Chains A and B, each alone.
Chain A
């Protein structure tokens, strides 16, 4: 079975540009979460979607947005990129309910120059 797949794997963008990152969850998983991991830190929660509805949002500016499609895949969009947005963006899928635990993709490494 395929795990969580993310694309692209690496991306270089210029300040002020827009970026779209994509994620396909494990088959049967209806929940997708997005995390940002800056070098040397643990992942920081950005969004969670379940059944195409936003279930949670972290402390990120409105430049960050996301959506989930009927097939449960998801996109993370970031507008007006800043140098500080450079990070590993992780997508995770999970089954609903506690105790939970995620299956992560390998991430998209975004570099803003």
Chain B
């Protein structure tokens, strides 16, 4: 069974600080997604990465897929209160049509 571990589980920072959250596995993936979920809402897709070593930027968010395609990181620069939420990584399970989600990193950015 593929397992996605996310770290840290919880993070509380001040507005303007930088942070990095991680998604790790012992398995190799063809692609990986990052989602953000706000309370009472469904997850919203932020990005899909498919190539080992790939770096994608979305405004103040930088996503990196590990060279071996087993891990990924999300870096937020100058965090804002609007970045508060649950950050989830997800991968497709090869040979099936399902996605596995990590347990998430709960981020709180204080004004």
Residues of A within 8 A of B (CB): 4, 31, 33, 35, 41-45, 48, 50, 55-56, 58, 90, 92, 98-107, 109
Residues of B within 8 A of A (CB): 4, 30-31, 33, 35, 40-45, 48, 50, 88, 90, 92, 96-104
Contact of B40 with A106 in the complex, beta carbons under 8 Å: yes
Other-chain residue from A48, A105, A106 in contact with B97 (beta carbon distance below 8 A): A48
A92 to B41, CA, bound (A): 12
Other-chain residue from B31, B43, B88, B103 in contact with A100 (beta carbon distance below 8 A): B31
Number of A-B contacts (CB under 8 A): 67
User: What chain B residues lie within 8 Å of A33 (beta carbons)?
Assistant: 97-99
Contact of B45 with A101 in the complex, beta carbons under 8 Å: yes
User: What chain B residues lie within 8 Å of A99 (beta carbons)?
Assistant: 30-31, 33, 48, 50, 92
Other-chain residue from B44, B48, B96 in contact with A56 (beta carbon distance below 8 A): B96
User: What chain B residues lie within 8 Å of A45 (beta carbons)?
Assistant: 98-100
A44 to B43, CA, bound (A): 13
CB distance from A53 to the nearest CB of B (A): 11
